[in-house]
Structure 1
Amino acid sequence: MGSRHIRRASTATAAVATTTAAVAALLTTAPTATAATTTINPTADTYVQDSTPTTNYGTSSQFTVDNSPVRQSFLKFTVSGLTETVASAKLRIRVTNSGNSSNGGTWKSMADTTWTETGVTWNNKPVINGATVASLGSVANDQWVEIDVTSVVTGNGTFSFGGTSTSTNGAYYDSRESGADAPQLVITTGTAPSPTPTTSTPPPSGDPVLVGAGDIANCGTGGDEATASLLDGITGTVMAIGDTAYPDGTSSDYTNCYQPSWGRHKARTKPATGNHEYHTTGASGYFNYFGASAGDPSKGYYSFDLGTWHVVALNSNCSIVSCSAGSAQEQWLRNDLAASTKPCTVAYWHHPRYTSGSSHGPNTAVQPLYQALYDNDAEVIVTGHNHNYERFAPMNATGGLDNTRGIRQFVAGMGGTGLGGFGTIQPNSEVRNSSTWGVLKLTLHSGSYDWQFVPQAGKTFTDSGTNACH
Structure 2
Amino acid sequence: MTATVAALLAVSAAGCTSPPEPPDRPSESASPARDIRIAAVGDMNGVRTYAPDSPSGRNAVAITRLVKNNEIDAFLGLGDFQYNTAYCNDYVNYWTRLWGGTKSKLYWVSGPNHDWRPGRNEDLDNFMNGECPGAPQKAASNQERGFIGNGEPYSTDFGNWHFAFLSSAQWRYNPARARELTTWLDRDLAAAKAVGKHLAVVHHEPYFTSDTDEHERASDHKPWINVMWKHRVRLTLSGSQHNYERSCPVNNADQCVYDGMTAFQVSTGGIGLRPFTSSPPFIVQRFSDTHGFLRLTLRENGSFDWEFVPTTGSSTDVGTRPAPQ
User: Which category describes the TM-score, using the shorter chain as reference length?
Assistant: 0.7 to 0.9
Contact 2:48 2:90 (C-alpha < 8 Å) held by counterparts: no
- Pair 1:210 & 2:38 matched: yes
Q: Paired residue for 2:80?
A: 243
Name the structure 2 match of 1:320: 173
**Amino acid in structure 1 at the alignment position of 2:308:** F
Equivalent pair of 1:390/1:429 in contact (CA under 8 Å): yes
Residues of 2 paired with 1:469 and 1:288: CA distance?
39
SS in 2 for 1:337: helix
Instruction: Report which of the two has the higher share of strand.
Output: 1
Instruction: Tell me the amino acid that sits aligned with residue 95 of structure 2.
Output: Y
- Structure 1 counterpart of 2:107: 270
Q: What is the Cα deviation at residue 220 of structure 1?
A: 5.1
> Is 1:384 aligned to 2:239, yes or no?
yes
Query: Are the equivalent residues in 2 in contact too, given 1:15–1:463 (CA < 8 A)?
Result: no
Amino acid at match of 2:172: S
Post-superposition CA distance 1:43-86 (Å, at most 9, x none): xxxxxxxxxxxxxxxxxxxxxxxxxxxxxxxxxxxxxxxxxxxx
**Segment drifting more, 411-420 vs 297-306:** 297-306
Cα gap change, 1:377/1:356 in structure 2, threshold over 3 Å: closer, same or farther?
same
Report SS of the residue matched to 1:416: coil
Query: In the alignment, does 2:115 pair up with 1:260?
Result: no
- Match among 436, 445, 456 for residue 290 of structure 2: 436
Summarize the alignment of residues 283-362 of structure 1 with structure 2, pairs less than 5 Å apart: 283-291=121-129, 293=141, 296-297=148-149, 299-317=151-169, 318-322=171-175, 327-340=179-192, 341-358=195-212, 359-362=214-217
1:117 counterpart residue number: none
Deviations 1:192-221 (A, max 9, x none): xxxxxxxxxxxxx95111211110111455
Aligned-partner SS, 1:277? coil
- CA drift of 1:384 comes to 0.4
Pick from 224, 227, 237: which aligns with 1:372? 227
- Kept in 2, the 8 Å contact 1:394–1:407? The answer is yes
Q: CA-to-partner distance for each residue in 1:335-373, whole Å, 9 max, x for gaps?
A: 111111243111111100021141211111111111111
Q: Take 2:196 and 2:59, find their aligned partners in 1: how far apart are those partners?
A: 30
Provide the rounded CA distance (Å) in 2 between the counterparts of 1:321 and 1:444.
34
Aligned residue among 308, 315, 318 for 1:453: 308
| Structure 2 unaligned blocks of 5 or more | 9-32, 130-137
Between the aligned partners of 1:411 and 1:323, the Cα distance in structure 2 is 26
Kept in 2, the 8 Å contact 1:324–1:365? The answer is: no
1:398 aligned onto 2:244: no
State the Cα distance separating 1:414 from its structure 2 match.
0.3
The residue number in structure 2 matching 1:415 is 269
Q: Taking structure 1 as the reference length, what is the TM-score of the superposition?
A: 0.54
Q: Distance in 2 between matches of 1:443 and 1:370?
A: 23
1:464 aligns with 2:318: yes
Which has the higher mean CA deviation after the structures are superposed, 297-306 or 208-217?
297-306
- Tell whether the 8 Å contact from 2:34 to 2:300 is kept in structure 1 after alignment: no
Structure with the higher fraction of residues in helix conformation: 2
- 1:299-340 CA-to-partner distances (Å, cap 9, x unmatched) read 331100001100111111112243788x22111111111111
Secondary structure at 1:278 match in 2: coil
Counterpart of 2:45 in structure 1: which amino acid? A
**1:13 Cα deviation after fit:** 2.4
Give the 3-state SS of the residue equivalent to 1:410 in structure 2.
Answer: strand
Higher relative contact order (Cα pairs below 8 Å, separated by 6+ residues): 2
Q: Equivalents in 2 of 1:283, 1:290: separation in Å?
A: 14
Tell me the TM-score normalized by structure 2.
0.77
